A and B are shown apart, each in its own frame.
Chain A
């Protein structure tokens, strides 16, 4: 396996995991687990904005990670 392919797989996996974590974090923030909203000083007014940002970031991170993991080079 070529170095670029290995690097792509590692970076893709890490980025995909970051994306999944971002989505999970958005959910935890939403259900206010451990009183996270108060700890992070997130008001109800701005909660949807934070959630949207986290979900969009998570979605694109997962997509980008999957592209790198499943990349196949043409001969």
Chain B
């Protein structure tokens, strides 16, 4: 079914901004400021904004040339097909799930802050229930998604812009001048700046939601690239000014409270922190809902192409929503949010997306060669340097936090590599086909059963000592018999000619 094109340039810019300006600003600046870059976080954000602009040029060209639903997955499929598209889809799905888990956790942390100010008596109770709150909020949002409740993204971004405007005006009212903010020394040097750029990168890349929603934009060949570039350019001064004011009001130190809330508290005593907590909670809810929808649409797209089980395409009989894909993704989100590690989730979401960005830039290079006559309503400036620079910067952002030996980054990268190995294994198993796989698993089951039978024989003749009660031996005989029987049944599966 074709999606109706009804959004103009302004709506498209608002869509890009509502994707970009979200909960991330309420949570990611903390670690970037206090642990990675100190006041040089401003430099890190500027660098992040410029790298994002580089990458968004490639997105603009591809979004205008292929204005279809699916974004990155569609581009990599057009350029490379098969395995690369599958990896890109999986990485994008994983990034959405990590972002959703981070959003659920941010909601819980902002709620904790709110209780600490409004009802301090309940603070310790709420503090102990942070993982539970993250789970509950995920269940509620997943239920709303299954029921097909619409989002209010554009309204939220308008409210945020108003709140940030009050914040900035308050900062300037207090007479914040550059030397106060920028004269502090470098904390970790330039590598700290790069690590902070990598960590805060999710603050920018939300605007790719516009690419995913290109199918709803009128005259997409012109409006999508323009909207992407305008919203990319708008976010840079916004984030820089918010960071500038916040750094001016919160000196480096150990705090239990979120960085932006602290700054708002200092600028607007009594109401500032609470206002930001409410804004952070609303932003987290909005992002959580959006991420649940995005992950389900990616999973469905891949399921439609035969890469994932068809059950993910199931639509709810009453609400007409992809309830299986929503529930499956939400279970992952709940599991990740229970971990409760904000820094790990921040890096994981960032790394997943940075890899997708590298693949998008590679796709642009490939498509320009493979399909030179493809219609290009928007051309990336300074081609091929722009996509190459995008790829190089993506890998720099991946590498620097690792070289800095940031434990959170190392854990995120190792987890990412493990998940990537799982993704590759899934792809190959999927390509092998169910019946070959059934025979292979049957063979493993049969050999395990035979091995256990041999072990039982060796125990019985006294060659291997039995240190456990004899009842375990009877259980081993039972397991061995079941394994052999299951192996024989699987190997002799007469469902289809195998070889």
Contacts and interface: CB of A to CB of B under 8 A. Distances in A.
B445 interface: yes
B443 to A, nearest CB: 10
Given A41-B467, A60-B445, A71 B493 contact: yes
Most chain A CB within 10 A, of B467, B486, B487, B496, is at: B486
B467 A64 contact: no
Most chain B CB within 10 A, of A7, A40, A41, A67, is at: A67
B495 A12 contact: no
B445 A64 contact: yes
B468 A40 contact: yes
B482 interface: yes
A15 B468 contact: no
Given A71-B495, A73-B495, A63 B441 contact: yes
Q: How large is the interface on A (under 10, 10 to 19, 20 to 34, 35 or more residues)?
A: 20 to 34
A19 B97 CA distance: 28
A65 B495 contact: no
A68 B489 contact: yes
Contacts of B495: 71-74
Given A18-B479, A74-B496, A64 B487 contact: yes
Contact of A60 (B444, B482, B494): B444
A14 interface: yes
A8 B491 CA distance: 12
Interface string B396-438: 0000000000000000000000000000000000000010011
A67 B442 contact: yes
B132 interface: no
Contacts of A8: 489
B238 interface: no
Contacts of B494: 73
A28 interface: no
A75 B335 CA distance: 42
Most chain B CB within 10 A, of A63, A65, A72, is at: A63
B23 to A, nearest CB: 34
B496 A67 contact: no
B266 interface: no
Given A40-B468, A72-B495, A73-B495, A65 B486 contact: yes
Interface in A1-39: 4, 7-8, 11-12, 14-15, 18
A4 B489 CA distance: 8
Contacts of B434: 67
A57 B482 contact: no
Of all A-B residue pairs in the complex, the 5 with the closest CB atoms, nearest first, are A64-B445, A67-B438, A15-B486, A64-B441, A11-B486
5 contacts: A11-B482, A11-B485, A57-B448, A64-B442, A72-B495
Interface of A: 4, 7-8, 11-12, 14-15, 18, 40-41, 57, 60-61, 63-65, 67-68, 71-74
